[in-house]
């Protein structure tokens, strides 16, 4: 289940970045590639449609990335020992505090900041981290997968036959 979650996170992150780049840089998409991005946008709009929210697509893409970053952070093992929460006694919080924390990080775009710190994974490492090398390798590998997916998508799109 953990591998499936990681795979889906990388796929959705890549689709969010593809959609964002396509919107910002006005890149034309052809055939199947346009359908994939349109389907992603449809799903995101339907999810937010539950809350009756209508926002520009580039903002929705950034918000999706923010929630993915928040989910990755909240899902981390021993989050209570992270730099942000180290001095806070989380035992005093309500039972499901991580869910509230997830929504606060996602809605406020702090989750996007968490994703941006993945680019420089040493921000996670300090003297209290028992295995910093594994964390650096894991986060760097995820960034490489996302960037590689973005690159492959746009290269295939560029060489796809136009209809």
- Long-range contacts of 22-28, Cβ-Cβ distance < 8 Å, separation of 24 or more: 23/57, 23/58, 23/61, 24/58, 27/154, 27/157
Helix H segments across 26-162?
Answer: 31-49, 57-75, 97-107, 110-118, 132-159
Question: Is pLDDT of 136 > 70?
Answer: no
CA distances from 116 to 22, 28, 39, 40, 82 (A): 20, 26, 26, 22, 17
> How far apart are the C-alpha atoms of 59 and 47, rounded to whole Å?
14
Which residue is listed with tokens 């490489």?
A: 144
State pLDDT tens for residues 14-49. Answer: 888 889 888 888 888 888 888 999 999 998 888 878
Question: Is pLDDT of 112 > 60?
Answer: yes
Q: What is the pLDDT of residue 39?
A: 92
Q: What's the pTM value of the predicted model, to 2 decimals?
A: 0.70
39-53, 72-86, 110-124: which is most confident = 39-53
Question: Is pLDDT of 127 > 60?
Answer: no
Mean predicted confidence (pLDDT) in 61-89: 73
């Amino acid at each position: 289940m953990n591998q499936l979650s990681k795979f889906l996170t990388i796929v959705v992150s890549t689709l969010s970045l593809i959609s964002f780049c396509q919107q910002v840089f006005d890149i034309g998409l052809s055939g199947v590639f346009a359908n994939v991005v349109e389907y992603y946008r449809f799903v995101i709009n339907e999810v937010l449609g539950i809350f009756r929210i209508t926002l520009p697509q580039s903002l929705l893409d950034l918000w999706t990335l923010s929630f993915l970053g928040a989910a990755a952070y909240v899902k981390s093992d021993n989050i209570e020992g992270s730099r942000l929460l180290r001095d806070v006694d989380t035992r005093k919080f309500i039972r499901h505090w991580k869910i509230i924390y997830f929504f606060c990080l996602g809605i406020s775009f702090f989750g996007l900041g968490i994703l941006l710190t993945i680019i420089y994974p040493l921000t996670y490492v300090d003297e209290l981290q028992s295995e910093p090398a594994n964390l650096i390798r894991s986060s760097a590998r995820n960034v490489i997968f996302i960037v590689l997916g973005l690159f492959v998508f746009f290269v295939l799109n560029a060489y796809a036959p136009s209809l």
